[in-house]
Amino acid sequence: MARKLVIGNWKLNGSSAANAVLLTELAAEWRGAPGMQLVVCPPAPYLAQACDVLSGSAVTWGGQDVSDRPAGAFTGEVSAAMLKDLGCSHAIVGHSERRLRFGESNALVAAKAAAALDGGLVPVVCIGESAAERNEGRALAVLQAQVEAVLAVVAAPRLPGVAFAYEPLWAIGTGQNADPQIAATVHAFVRGLLARADLAAAAEVPILYGGSVKAANAAEYAAQRDIDGVLVGGASLIAPDFLAIAAA
Ligand code: PEP
């Protein structure tokens, strides 16, 4: 797996017409970079369109979520095998919007990460603390519980197939991006937790930053040790902005 990752999370945005423009521009403009992967995560109904437009390009695509179940009576769910069938490389799991609005627990997020891995996808496990948790001095404890839930179900040798994204809740969609150096200390903390499970494997795990990343601040994150890329929301919907972030 590429250690450097730039992932666009389109969230609940898009239409066939708008996606065609965005995907075509990304496919045409992104030439790839050594050791780095550019990934877009459209809403599930548009993954087939992403597969059509991006196949043969240097851009890959992934799901915004994945079921912890392989098949069966689970209305509304999308399995890892289905994402794989549509050519996905990655699946975001545990985005804070899903943790908060859909009540996803650390255990469920970890089960989704394991299901993605079993299905041949790279799970991108989102972790992050709220403003209140940070202000109360509980940020690291919250992050530790989120990471350890994954370590409880993903055996150490499989860790290099997993990516994490540190997304402090107070930075998502707010325009208040985390100070890159503060984010870097969190990333080092997370890598330390992974290293307790397997030192060598931990070094291979991409740990991304997410939260109000823009073309103007992306390079500051890229310059930090232990920040291996970014997960981008709003700015990933505008091709020149997303491409500028990837270039940074
Ligand atoms: C996100 O939702 O994962 C995100 C990082 O959003 P934004 O870049 O818009 O803050």
List 90, 95, 97, 187, catalytic entry = 95
Question: What is the whole-number distance in angstroms between the Cα of residue 75 and the centre of ligand 1?
Answer: 27
Cα separation, 127 vs 123, in Å, equals 12
What are the tens digits of pLDDT across the range 139-157?
999 999 999 999 999 999 9
What are the tens digits of pLDDT across the range 33-53?
999 999 999 999 999 999 999
What is the pLDDT confidence band of residue 3, given thresholds at 50, 70 and 90?
confident
What are the tens digits of pLDDT across the range 84-115?
999 999 999 999 999 999 999 999 999 999 99
pLDDT at 176: 95
Instruction: Please check the confidence at residue 4 and state whether its pLDDT lies above 90.
Output: yes
Q: How many Cα atoms are found within 13 Å in the side-chain-facing hemisphere of 128?
A: 30
Instruction: Please check the confidence at residue 2 and state whether its pLDDT lies above 80.
Output: no
Task: Report the percent of the chain where pLDDT is more than 90.
Answer: 99
Closest by alpha carbon to 225, among 209, 247, 241?
Answer: 209
Q: Max Cα separation, the chain?
A: 48
Pocket test for ligand 1, best of 7, 9, 12, 177 (most atoms within 8 A of CB): 9
Report H helices in the chain: 16-29, 47-54, 80-85, 96-101, 106-118, 131-135, 139-153, 180-197, 199-204, 218-222, 239-247
Region 14-31: mean pLDDT is 98
| Structure tokens belonging to residue 90 | 């990655």
Ligand 1 and 233: CB distance under 6 A:
yes
Region 14-41: mean pLDDT is 97
Question: For atom 7 of ligand 1, which residue has the closest CA?
Answer: 233
Ligand 1 and 172: CB distance under 6 A:
yes
What are the tens digits of pLDDT across the range 202-226?
999 999 999 999 999 999 999 999 9
Rounded to the nearest integer, the mean pLDDT of the chain is 97
